[in-house]
Amino acid sequence: MHRAADMMLKWLAVLVVLTTLGCPAWGAEHTSVLEVDDIVCRGNLTTSCKFIRGHLFLRAGQSLDENEIGNATLRLSWLPNFRSVAIHLEKGAERGRVIVVIEVVEADPIATAFSAGLSFRSGSQTATVSGRIGDHNLFGTGKSLDLILAGEQPIAGLTARESLARLEYTDPQLFGSSRNFLFAGAFHLDSAYRYANGESFRSEVSGFDVSVGQSFGRFSYFTIGYEHLPQSTFISTTTHANGSFFTHYNSPQNVLLLGYGWNSQDDSSFPTRGTRLSLYNVLGESLGEPFFGGSEFRATWGVGERSFLTLGLRIEPVMQDRASIEGDPLISLSYSRDLPLDGLFAGVRRGRWYVEPGITPAGYSDDGHRLTEVGAKVGLRLQTRSFGLVNLYIIGTGLAQTGHRSH
Amino acid sequence: MRNVSRNYRGWILACLAILWSVPGLAAHLTPTLAKEQLGVLITDARLPRTLAGDLRSGLTTRILIQVELLQQARSIGHRDVEVDLRYDLWDDNFETTFRIDGLIVSAQTLGKPPEVTAMLAHLSLPELFSTAGLTGAKDLVMTARLLFNPLEKEQMEEIRKWVTENSRPTPNVATGSGGGLAAPQPPSESRTLFDRIFEQYAAGASVAAPFVDSATSKPFNMEALNREK
C-alpha cells in the first residue's frame, strides 16, 4: 500500500515538473501545429509581392511561427511603402495547412519636407526657406527621385544669400542587393556670404554626380563617386592671425568623391539614441589641397522620458559657407523633447522642440584676436499629415573674442 | 518625517480614488474574494478597434494583464495573467487559455466573436493572491494594466536592430547635395503602430503593446470585503 502511494507521489511529482516545464512563461514562443501552404499578398497595386514576402522570414512547407508573423508585421509597418499592414490566415488545401495572407494598403509615395528659418547673426539677418519633394516608390520599385530647392535672402545687414536646386535619384537596392546603393544628381548652387571681420565666401557651381556605395558590418557604408562640374567657381577670403587676408580661388571640373559613414540612429528625423557619422573627401584637379572634405557626427541619448541630448560636430570645407546646411555650428549640444500631440499639435503625427547651443570658429578680428561665433538655434521639428516633415527654427549668434592678440 | 510620508500616501490614495471615480477614463476593477484568495473583476475595458479583425485572423490574440496589489501605495503582490484567444479556421470557434505567471489555469472554447467580447467586457480573474497575512489589512488597492498583443523587450530590440541596419544611408554632403535638407523617407501611417511601441520602450517600459488600457480599484479593506462576500 505504501509502495503504491510512493509510486503515485513520484509520478505526481514528475507530472508537476513536466507540467511546469511545458508551460512557458508569458511571452514564450507560441508553437503551432499549423503548416504554411502558401504566402500571398493582397492590396499591393505597385509593390511586388516578392518585395513584401521578403520581409516575412517564413516559407511554404514550414511550421507556422506566430512570433515571426508578428515581427514581419512590424518590419512591414515600419516601411514607408504602406499605410497599413495586416496578416491573417486562411484555410489551406487540407486541415492543418494554412495560407498566410499579407494584406497591405499602399501609402502615397510622394514625400515632402519643408524648412523655414530666421538667422540673426553678427552683422546680418537672413530668412531661409527650403523644401524637398520626391517620389519614394518610383515605378513601384522602391527607388526615389527628389527635387530639392533652397533659398536664403538677407533681411538686413551684410550679404548672405544662397540659391540651390538639386534633382536627386536614389536606388537603395542597386541590382536588387540590399547592400549596394546608388545616388546621382544634377544641381546648381549659387551662394555669397560676407562677414563682419571681412571674411567672404562665394560659390557658383553647376554639375552632376553619381556615387555608388556598399553597406558593411552592421551600420557602416562607404561610397565612391564622380562629379563633373562644367561650371565651378569657389572664392574664399579668410583672415589670418596677423590680420592679413588670404584669398583662395578654385575651379575644379572633374572630381572624385569618397565617403565613409556609420549610422546606428534608430530614427533619422526623431532619433532617440544612436550615432551617425559621415566623412567625405573630394579629390580633383585644381583643388590645390589633398583634403577638401568634411565630416558630420551626431550622437543622441535619451535623458528621461521623451527628452534627448544630441552632441553634434560638423566640419565643412573652409572654402564654402552654405545656408542649406541650416546653420549647424561646428560643435553643438542640443536638448530636445517630444511634443504632446494634443491641442495645437493634435494634427501632427510626431513633433519635437529643440534648443541647440553651439560654437563655430570665425577667423580673426581686424586686430588679430581669434573670434568664435557663439549662439543657439531654437526650433520645432514636426511630422505633419499634409506637409510632411517641417522644420521651423530661429538662429541667434554673436561673435566673441576667445584668444589673445597674435603677434 | 513620518507625517510627511503619511501625507504622501494619503495623496496617492486620494489620486487613485479620483482616478477610479472618473467615468469612461479607463476600465473598472472590482476586487473579489473566493476560496481565501483575492481576485479581480475587470469590466468595461476598452478594446482595440482592430480586435474584431485580429480575432478572426487565425492568429493568437494575446492579452497580458499585469495585476498589482498595493497596500498604502506599496506593492505587496504582482501577477501576470495572460489570456490567449485563437480562432480555429475549421471549427469556427475560439480556443481560450488563461495563464497565471506562465502556468495554465483554465481553458475553454468560445463560439462567436460576440461571446469573446462579452467575456472580455466582464473579465473575471479569481484566485490571484492568497489572503493569508492580509487579515484585517486596510488601505488596499488593486490595479490592472491590460496590454493587447504585447511585445517583449528582446523582440523589440531585434526589430530595432533590423530597422537600423536597413535604414537608407544618408548620402555624403558633396558639393551641391543639399546638406541638411536630406529629408528622410516619409514615415507611413502604419508606422505609428511601430512608433507607439517604440516610444513605450524609450520611456523605460519592459513590456509594450500597441494598445493598452488600465484599471484601478476603489481602496478597500479585507474586513469589508469579507462582509460583502
Which of A111, A164, A266 has its CB closest to that of B185? A111
B179 belongs to a structural domain: no
Residue B151, in any domain of the structure: yes
**Residue A36: helix, strand or coil by DSSP?**
strand
Residue with cell 509594450: B208
Lowest-pLDDT range, A6-10, A187-191, B124-128? A6-10
If one compares A178 and A238, the residue with the highest pLDDT of the two is: A238
Q: Check whether A111 has a pLDDT greater than 80.
A: yes
Residues in chain A with CB shorter than 8 Å from the CB of B82 are: 26-27
Q: Is residue B172 assigned to a domain? A: no
Reported pTM: 0.64
Query: What is the C-alpha separation between B39 and B128, in angstroms, rounded?
Result: 5
Question: Taking Cα atoms as reference points, which of A125, A131, A171, A170 lies closest to residue A151?
Answer: A131
Distance CA(B82)–CA(A241), nearest Å, equals 71
pLDDT of B96: 94
Residue A157: CB atoms within 10 A of its CB come to 15
In the DSSP assignment, the letter for residue B25 is: S
* A190 vs A159: CA distance, rounded Å: 13
Q: What is the mean pLDDT of chain A?
A: 81
Residue A25 to residue B183, Cβ atoms within 8 A: no
What local confidence, expressed as pLDDT, does residue B65 receive? Answer: 95
What's the gap in Å between the CA of B199 and the closest CA on chain A? 8
- The pLDDT mean for chain B works out to 78
Distance between CA B215 and CA A262 in Å, rounded?
A: 45
The parent domain of residue B209 ranges over: 4-167+185-224
Q: How many structural domains compose chain B?
A: 1
Considering only the beta carbons, identify the residue of A89, A146, A296 that sits closest to B89: A89
Q: What is the pLDDT of residue A403?
A: 66
Buried b (16+ CB within 10 A) or exposed e, B4-22: eeeeeeeebbeebeeebee
Instruction: Outline where DSSP puts E strands in chain B.
Output: 27-34, 37-43, 60-71, 74-88, 93-100, 103-110, 122-130, 140-148, 151-152, 207-208, 211-217
**Is residue B96 included in any domain, yes or no?**
yes
Residue B55 lies in a domain: yes
Tell me if B176 and A185 make a contact (CB, 8 A cut-off).
yes
Whose cell is 565666401? That residue is A201
Best of A31, A77, A222 to mutate (most B CBs within 10 Å, chain B): A77
Report the 10 Å Cβ neighbour count for A199.
20
Q: How far is A88 from chain B (nearest CA, A)?
A: 4
- Chain A interface test: which of B149, B190, B201 (most A C-beta within 10 Å): B190
Residues of B in Cβ contact (< 8 Å) with A209: 174-177
Q: Position A42: which residue type?
A: R
Q: What is the pLDDT of residue A327?
A: 60
Q: Is B166 exposed, middle or buried (0-12, 13-18, 19+ CB in 10 A)?
A: middle
What one-character DSSP code corresponds to residue B11? H
Identify whether B173 is part of a domain.
Answer: no
Identity at A128, one-letter amino acid code: T
pLDDT band at B139 (very low <50, low <70, confident <90, very high): confident
Residue B107 banded pLDDT, cuts 50, 70, 90 = very high
- For residue B69, being part of any structural domain is answered with yes
Alpha carbon distance B144, B218 (integer Å): 12
Cα(A316)–Cα(A324) distance, integer angstroms = 12
Asked if residue B178 is part of any domain, the answer here is no
Q: Using alpha carbons, select from A120, A95, A76, A124 the residue that is nearest to residue A34.
A: A95
Confidence band of A405 (pLDDT split at 50, 70, 90): low
- Quote the cell numbers at residue A314: 560638423
